Amino acid sequence: MSEQSHEYKVDALIAEDIDAYLSKHQHKTMLRFITCGSVDDGKSTLIGRLLYDSKMIFEDQLASLTKDSKAVGTQGQEIDFALLVDGLAAEREQGITIDVAYRFFATDKRKFIVADTPGHEQYTRNMVTGASTADLAVILIDARQGVLTQTRRHSYIVNMLGIPNVVLAVNKMDLVGSSEERFDEIVAEYRAFADQIGIKEFTAIPISGLRGDNIVDRSVAMDWYKGPTLMAHLETVPLSDRGAANRPFRMPVQWVNRPNLDFRGFSGTITSGTVHPGDGVRVLPSGKTSTVKSIVTYNGDLDSGVAGQAVTITLNDEIDCSRGNVLSVADNPPEVADQFETTLIWMDESEMLPGRPYILQIGTQSVTATITEPKYEVNVNTTEQLAARTLKLNAIGVCNISTDRPIVFESYDDDRTMGGFILIDRMTNATVAAGLVHFALRRSQNIHWQAVDIDRNAHALQKGQKAKVVWFTGLSGSGKSTIANLVEKKLHSMGRHSFLLDGDNVRHGLNRDLGFTDADRVENIRRVGEVARLMTDAGLIVMTAFISPFKAERQMVRDLMEEGEFVEVFVNTSLETAESRDVKGLYKKARAGDLKNFTGIDSPYEKPEKAEITVNTDEMTAEEAAEMIVDRLLAM
Amino acid sequence: MQKLLQLNHQETKKAAMALDDRQLTHLQRLEAESIQIMREVVATSTNPVMLYSVGKDSACMLHLAKKAFYPSPPPFPLLHVDTTWKFQAMYALRDKAAADAGMQLLVHHNPEAVEKGINPFDHGSLHTDMWKTDGLKQALSAYGFDAAFGGARRDEEKSRAKERVFSFRSANHRWDPKSQRPELWSQYNARKAKGESIRVFPLSNWTELDIWQYIQLEKIEIVPLYFAAPRPVVERDGMLIMVDDDRFPLRDGETPEMKSIRFRTLGCYPLTGAVESEAATLSEVIQEMLLTTTSERQGRAIDHDSAASMEKKKQEGYF
C-alpha cells in the first residue's frame, strides 16, 4: 500500500499562473519509452496505472473504464487498467495486446510518450516497431515467474536496437509477499542473462502495477527498497541522443525544393552534427563538393542547424543533388558501398528467400537488394548461433546483403537513421524485415568488372540476330519442354543460333545441390537467369523451360536482361489437364503425399499478368503453339 | 505585420541560440518529426492531398505544411469533405486559410446526401456515414488521391492510439488493424498497388496540450468559436447546442438563451456540445483544458455508441 493518495498532484501553477506554467512546460524535454516483457506480466496495467496516477485519465474515460471493467475486465469489481490501452476490439475480447499502443503523459519535469508493446511472440514485429524509436525500455517481470523466454527475447531486441536505458521492473511484488529475497533472486538471474547479451547496466525496481506500489508513490510494504520509484527514475534518467550532436554533419536529402528558377534548396532532417552557412559540404555518393549558402526555414534563415532539425539547405554551386543523396561535411564523409554485413529481423509470414530481390529502404535511399543465406540465426533464448538456410517470421540472423547500386550509410551503432533499413517485398509491398548495417564488405571494392573488346553487340551482329531469352513458364506437364524443343528445331532450321536450357537437365548438373523448397527454387532460377544472361552476351537466342512459379523471380531474370530481350511465354494449361497428362507420374506421387512442395498441389503457381506471349495448350496442339511463338519472335 | 515578422525572427534567433545547448524541446522534436513525414509523402506519392476540417488540429497541420515546403507553397491541394452543417465561422476561416497558404481548396458534398437532404436532426448516424465516410471515399476515388494527410492524434481515442503514421488502405478504403505494416525509426514504407492508398497522420504523436501550445507559440489563426463569447444555445439531451442558423428546428418549449460558451472541438454544429466558459484568450483556454476533468471527444456524439465504435468506423473508411 502506498503512503500517499493515488492522485499525482496537478501542478498548482496551472491555476495560479498559467503563462508561467506554459513557459515551463515549453522547455520540458521528452522521453520516449516502451514497456515490454512476457504476456500477463502486467504491461498494460502498469501504463494504465501511470496514466491514472499522473492524472491523465478524465472522468468520462474513467466512467467508461469502470463500466468496461465490470463487463469484460479480469479484475472482478476492481478497475482493469489494461482496458485503457488495449484499444482494438480483438484485443479487448481476447484480453491480449496485439499491436503497439502509444500513450502520452507529462509530469512537472518531463513529457513522455510510452509505447505499450505486445508480449506474444507472433506479434514481435509490433514490439520492434515500438522499440525502434525508444530512449528507454521498461522490461517487466512477474515476480512469481522470474525470467521467461519472452523476457529474454525482448531484452535481446532492446539491446540489439541499441535502446540506451533499461529498467527491470519486477512486478506483482504483492503476490510474493513483497519479499526482498525473491527480488534479489530475480535481479541476479536477469543480470546473468544481461551480461551474456551485452546489456551493461540496468536499473531494477520492485513494483506492483495493480496496487500502485513504487510506481509514483513509495511502497510501505517494501520499505527495504531504497532506490527511486519508477516515475522518479523516468523523470530524471539522463537523455542521450546517442552522441548525434557530436558526430560529423549528415543530412539525407528528402526533397528538392524548387519554387522558381532562382531557388534550389535541399530539404531534409539533419541526422547528426551541426551545419553553418559557409561550411564545406560534400554530396554523396557522387562526391561533388560545394559550400552552404543558407539554412532556410519558414521562420527565417538560421545561423546553424543541428541534429534533429528539419531544414532546407541551399548551396553556392549548381551541383547535382537529389532525393536519396546525402549532404555531409566535406572532409569527413560517410562510407559508400554495395555489400554489407547486417543483422536482420524477419517480420513476414513468408520466409526470407536468399537470392530473391527485395527493395531496401535506408534513409531516403531506395535500392534493389539481395540477401545471402544467413551466416547464422540467433536463438535469442540462449544466444546460441544456429545454422540456417533461411529466416522465418520473427527470426533474427546475420546475413550479407548486396545492393544493385552503392548506398551511403553509417553503421547502426553510430546512427539509427543512416544504419537502420527495412526490406520490402516487390510484389506485395509488405515490409518484410528490419535490418541493421554492421559494416561494408571490402569484397565489393576488390572485384572489378573485366572489360572485354568483343562485346555483346559484336557477338549478336556476327550471328545476324538479336539475342533473346525466351522464358517458358507454366505448370509441370503443361508442355513447356515439348514446345520449347519444337521452337528450337524451327529456329535451327532457319539458321538461327539458339540454345535450350531445360529444367530437368540443369538439375542434373549445375543445380544438383538444390532441392524444391521455396528458397531452393529461387536459387535455381537465379542461376539459370545468370547462365541465360551469359548466353545472350554471346549473342544466342536462349530458350528456357522451367516451372518458375514465382513472379518475383521471373521479374528478377527480366531485370538482368536488356530492355526487350526477355520474352515471357506463359504455357497456360488447367491443372486438370496437366494432371491428366502426368507424363512423369509426378502428380500421382504428389497427391499420394510422396512428393512435397509440388507446384499446383502444395506449392503455389503465380500466373504471369503481362506475359509477352501466352499459349493455351488446352486449346491448341504443341505444333500450333510452337509455330505461333516463332512467328511472334521473328516479328520482335 | 512587419513587426510581427521581426518579432518572430528574433524569437527564432533566440531559439537557435538555445539550440546550441543541443537539446531540442519536445515541441521542436514534434515539429521536426511532422515535417519529415510530410516531405516523405510528397516525395513518394504521385497525388497527395491534405484533409482539412477547419478545426485546431487542421490549422496546426496546415501550418506545419507551410513550414515543411517553404519557400514553396505546400505542393498539394486541401480537401474539405463538407456536410453543409458546419458552423458559419468555420466556412469563413476555411476559405481564408486556403487563400493565405496559396493552396487550392477542394470542397466535396456527397451528391446522394444532398439529394436526400440528409441532416443530423432526422437521420441520426446516417448523417455521419453518408456525408463524411461515403463523401470522403467518393472524393478520394474521384480525384485519384493516393495519399491523404489527416490531423488525427493518437491521444484522442483508443483505436487511434494503435494506428501507424502511414496507415494503409485497400482499394475500397478499408483499414485492417490486425495486419498493419511494421514501422521502424523514421523509415516509412509508402509503397502500394494501383488503387490502394495511404492515410498519413503527421500529428500522431502530438497531444491536445501540444497543439494548443504550438498554436500559441506560432500565432496560428483558429476559428473564434474556440474562445468564449456570448452565443445563443439550447440544452438538449444533456448537451449545450449552439443555434448557428435558422435550419435548427426548435422543439416545443425550447428558446435559445445567450450564454458565454466555447467549443473544445468543432464539427457539425447540431452535433457539437459547447461548454460554458469565460476563457477568452489562448492562455485561459489552455488553463481550462488542463484543469478540466473530461476528455475532448466527450463533446462528440460519434464516440458514444460503443467501445469499439471508432475502430469500426475507421475500418469502413472514416478518417
CATH numbers and ranges of domains, chain A: 12-236 (3.40.50.300), 246-329 (2.40.30.10), 338-444 (2.40.30.10), 456-635 (3.40.50.300)
Residues 120-139 on A with a CB inside 8 Å of B are 125-126, 128-129, 132-133
* Model pLDDT, residue A14: 81
Q: How far A281 CA sits from the closest chain B CA (Å)?
A: 21
Is A76 a residue whose pLDDT tops 70? Answer: no
Of B22, B186, B290, the CB nearest to A14: B290
* Model pLDDT, residue B16: 39
Q: How far B221 CA sits from the closest chain A CA (Å)?
A: 16
* Model pLDDT, residue B1: 39
User: Which long-range contacts does B165-168 make (Cβ < 8 Å, 24+ apart)?
Assistant: B165/B37, B165/B200, B165/B201, B165/B202, B165/B204, B166/B190, B166/B198, B166/B200, B167/B198, B167/B199, B167/B200, B167/B201, B168/B192, B168/B196, B168/B198
Question: All domains of chain B, ordered by start, with CATH?
Answer: 26-220 (3.40.50.620), 224-304 (no CATH)
pLDDT category at B13 given cuts 50, 70, 90 is very low
- Closest-CA residue in chain A for B183? A129
Is A90 a residue whose pLDDT tops 80? Answer: no
Put simply, the answer to whether A263 touches B32 (Cβ < 8 Å) is no
Of B70, B294, B308, the CB nearest to A297: B70
Name, in order, each residue with C-beta under 8 angstroms of A279's C-beta and a sequence gap of 6 or more. Answer: A249, A291, A292, A329, A330
Residue with cell 532539425: A309
The size of chain A, in residues, is 636
* Model pLDDT, residue A253: 98
The pLDDT of B105-121, averaged and rounded, is: 93
Range with the largest mean pLDDT of A9-18, A153-162, A447-456, B1-10: A153-162
CB-CB neighbors (< 8 A) of A263 in chain B: 71
Of A26, A88, A269, the CB nearest to B159: A88
Put simply, the answer to whether B182 touches A103 (Cβ < 8 Å) is no
As a whole number, the mean pLDDT across chain A is 87
Number of helices (H), then strands (E), in chain B: 10, 10
Name, in order, each residue with C-beta under 8 angstroms of A76's C-beta and a sequence gap of 6 or more. Answer: none
* Model pLDDT, residue B4: 42
Name the residue among B200, B201, B210 with its Cα closest to residue A112.
B210
User: What does the alpha-carbon distance between residue A403 and residue A121 come to, in Å, rounded to a whole number?
Assistant: 31
Is A3 a residue whose pLDDT tops 60? Answer: no
The pLDDT of A62-69, averaged and rounded, is: 72
Task: Give residue-wise pLDDT tens across range A98-153.
Answer: 778 888 888 878 889 999 887 777 788 888 999 999 999 999 999 999 998 888 98
pLDDT category at B14 given cuts 50, 70, 90 is very low
The pLDDT of B116-135, averaged and rounded, is: 90
The sheet that has A289-296: what strands, in order across it?
A: A250-252, A326-329, A280-284, A289-296, A310-315, A263-269, A255-260
CB-CB neighbors (< 8 A) of A257 in chain B: 69, 71-72
Answer whether the bond into residue B249 is a cis peptide, omega within 30°.
Answer: no
Is A512 a residue whose pLDDT tops 60? Answer: yes
H or E element that contains A283 = strand A280-284
- Closest-CA residue in chain B for A363? B187
C-alpha R_g of chain B: 20
Q: C-alpha grid cell for residue A621? A: 496442339
pLDDT category at A185 given cuts 50, 70, 90 is very high
- Largest Cα–Cα separation, chain A: 98
Q: Which residue type is seen at B260?
A: S
The pLDDT of A39-45, averaged and rounded, is: 74
pLDDT category at B242 given cuts 50, 70, 90 is very high
Interface test with B, best of A104, A122, A367, A415 (most B CBs within 10 A): A104
Task: Tell me if A297 sits within 8 A of A270, measured CB to CB.
Answer: no
Of B39, B293, B295, the CB nearest to A255: B39
Residues 564-623 on A with a CB inside 8 Å of B are none
Query: A282: alpha, beta or left, given left = phi > 0 and alpha = psi -120 to 50?
Result: beta
User: What does the alpha-carbon distance between residue A386 and residue A261 come to, in Å, rounded to a whole number?
Assistant: 58
Supply φ then ψ for residue A241, to 5 degrees: -95, 25
Supply φ then ψ for residue B176, to 5 degrees: -110, 95
Q: C-alpha grid cell for residue A565? A: 530481350
Interface test with A, best of B184, B239, B281 (most A CBs within 10 A): B184
Put simply, the answer to whether B182 touches A297 (Cβ < 8 Å) is no
* Model pLDDT, residue A571: 93
The pLDDT of A567-588, averaged and rounded, is: 88
Tell me, what DSSP letter sits at residue B124? Answer: T
Alpha helices, DSSP H, located in chain B: 2-19, 26-44, 56-69, 88-101, 111-116, 125-127, 135-143, 208-218, 282-291, 309-315
Put simply, the answer to whether B183 touches A129 (Cβ < 8 Å) is yes
Task: Tell me if A359 sits within 8 A of A413, measured CB to CB.
Answer: no
Residue with cell 520540458: A28
Name, in order, each residue with C-beta under 8 angstroms of A16's C-beta and a sequence gap of 6 or more. Answer: none
Of A171-185, A361-375, B5-19, the poorest mean pLDDT is in B5-19
Interface test with B, best of A14, A18, A421 (most B CBs within 10 A): A18
Chains A and B: how many Cβ contacts under 8 Å? 215
Residues 194-233 on A with a CB inside 8 Å of B are none
Task: Give percent of chain A above pLDDT 70.
Answer: 90
C-alpha R_g of chain A: 31
Q: Are strands A396-409 and A376-379 parallel, antiparallel or unpaired?
A: antiparallel
Q: How far A71 CA sits from the closest chain B CA (Å)?
A: 12
CB-CB neighbors (< 8 A) of A420 in chain B: 184-185, 187
Name, in order, each residue with C-beta under 8 angstroms of A192's C-beta and a sequence gap of 6 or more. Answer: none
Interface test with B, best of A8, A17, A26, A409 (most B CBs within 10 A): A26
Cα angle, residue A18 at apex, residues B279 and A63 outer, rounded to 5°: 70
Interface test with B, best of A267, A271, A412 (most B CBs within 10 A): A267
Name the residue among B138, B89, B86, B87 with its Cα closest to residue B109.
B138
Q: Within 13 A of A463's CA, how many CA atoms are on the CB side?
A: 22
User: What does the alpha-carbon distance between residue A106 and residue A113 come to, in Å, rounded to a whole number?
Assistant: 9
Put simply, the answer to whether B287 touches A99 (Cβ < 8 Å) is no
Q: How far B115 CA sits from the closest chain A CA (Å)?
A: 35
CB-CB neighbors (< 8 A) of B13 in chain A: 300, 303
The b/e string for A351-381 (b: 16+ C-beta within 10 A; e otherwise) is: bbbbbbbbbbbbbbbbbebbbebbeebbebe
* Model pLDDT, residue B111: 94
Cα(first)–Cα(last) distance of chain B, in Å? 36
Tell me, what DSSP letter sits at residue A213? Answer: B
pLDDT category at A502 given cuts 50, 70, 90 is confident
Q: C-alpha grid cell for residue A353? A: 528467400
Number of helices (H), then strands (E), in chain A: 20, 28
Query: B293: alpha, beta or left, given left = phi > 0 and alpha = psi -120 to 50?
Result: alpha
Q: How far B260 CA sits from the closest chain A CA (Å)?
A: 20
Put simply, the answer to whether A308 touches B32 (Cβ < 8 Å) is yes
The SS3 call for residue A189 is helix
* Model pLDDT, residue B302: 47
3-state class percentages of chain A: helix first, strand second, coil last, to nearest 5: 30, 30, 40
Tell me how crowded residue A384 is: count the other CB atoms within 10 A of its CB. 10
Name, in order, each residue with C-beta under 8 angstroms of A218's C-beta and a sequence gap of 6 or more. Answer: A2, A3, A229
Put simply, the answer to whether A101 touches B158 (Cβ < 8 Å) is yes
pLDDT category at A560 given cuts 50, 70, 90 is confident
Tell me, what DSSP letter sits at residue B71? Answer: T
Is B171 a residue whose pLDDT tops 90? Answer: no
The sheet that has A165-171: what strands, in order across it?
A: A101-106, A110-116, A29-37, A136-142, A165-171, A203-206
CB-CB neighbors (< 8 A) of B26 in chain A: 28-30, 111
Answer whether the bond into residue A285 is a cis peptide, omega within 30°.
Answer: yes
* Model pLDDT, residue B140: 92
Task: Tell me if B198 sits within 8 A of B147, measured CB to CB.
Answer: yes
User: What does the alpha-carbon distance between residue B263 and residue B244 come to, in Å, rounded to a whole number?
Assistant: 13
Name the residue among A521, A513, A354, A341 with its Cα closest to residue A441.
A341
H or E element that contains A191 = helix A180-197
Is B136 a residue whose pLDDT tops 60? Answer: yes
Question: Which of A219, A476, A478, A548 is flagged as catalytic?
Answer: A548
* Model pLDDT, residue B304: 44
User: What does the alpha-carbon distance between residue B251 and residue B270 come to, in Å, rounded to a whole number?
Assistant: 13
Put simply, the answer to whether A27 touches B307 (Cβ < 8 Å) is no
pLDDT category at B102 given cuts 50, 70, 90 is very high
The pLDDT of A498-524, averaged and rounded, is: 85
DSSP characters over A302-332 = -S-EETT-EEEEEESS-----TT-EEEETTS
Task: Tell me if A42 sits within 8 A of A172, measured CB to CB.
Answer: yes
Q: Give residue A502's Cα distance to chain centre.
A: 36
Is A448 a residue whose pLDDT tops 70? Answer: no
Tell me how crowded residue A512 is: count the other CB atoms within 10 A of its CB. 8
* Model pLDDT, residue A420: 96
Q: Within 13 A of A305's CA, how many CA atoms are on the CB side?
A: 35
* Model pLDDT, residue B306: 44
Q: How far B291 CA sits from the closest chain A CA (Å)?
A: 8
* Model pLDDT, residue B243: 93
Residues 43-72 on A with a CB inside 8 Å of B are 58-61, 64, 68
- Closest-CA residue in chain B for A111? B26
Q: How far B235 CA sits from the closest chain A CA (Å)?
A: 19
* Model pLDDT, residue A29: 84
Q: Does A323 touch chain B (CB under 8 A)?
A: yes
Of A396-400, A452-456, A564-568, B280-284, the poorest mean pLDDT is in A452-456
Is B39 a residue whose pLDDT tops 90? Answer: yes
The pLDDT of A237-242, averaged and rounded, is: 77
Name the residue among A159, A206, A157 with its Cα closest to residue A185.
A206
Tell me, what DSSP letter sits at residue B134? Answer: I
Residue with cell 466555447: B262
* Model pLDDT, residue A457: 82
Put simply, the answer to whether B69 touches A111 (Cβ < 8 Å) is no
Of B12, B160, B189, the CB nearest to A299: B12
* A548 among known catalytic residues: yes
User: What torsion, rounded to 10 degrees, do the Cα atoms A268, A272, A278, A281 define?
Assistant: -80
* Model pLDDT, residue A4: 39
Supply φ then ψ for residue A176, to 5 degrees: -120, 30
User: What does the alpha-carbon distance between residue B213 and residue B219 come to, in Å, rounded to a whole number?
Assistant: 10
Of B22, B160, B162, the CB nearest to A306: B22
The pLDDT of B31-39, averaged and rounded, is: 97
Q: How far A462 CA sits from the closest chain B CA (Å)?
A: 43
User: What does the alpha-carbon distance between residue A385 and residue A373 come to, in Å, rounded to a whole number?
Assistant: 14
**Cα torsion B187, B188, B189, B191: sign:** negative
The pLDDT of A181-195, averaged and rounded, is: 95
Of A81-95, A262-276, A513-527, the poorest mean pLDDT is in A81-95
* Reported ipTM: 0.88
Which residues on adjacent β-strands are paired with residue A103? A114
* Model pLDDT, residue A450: 59
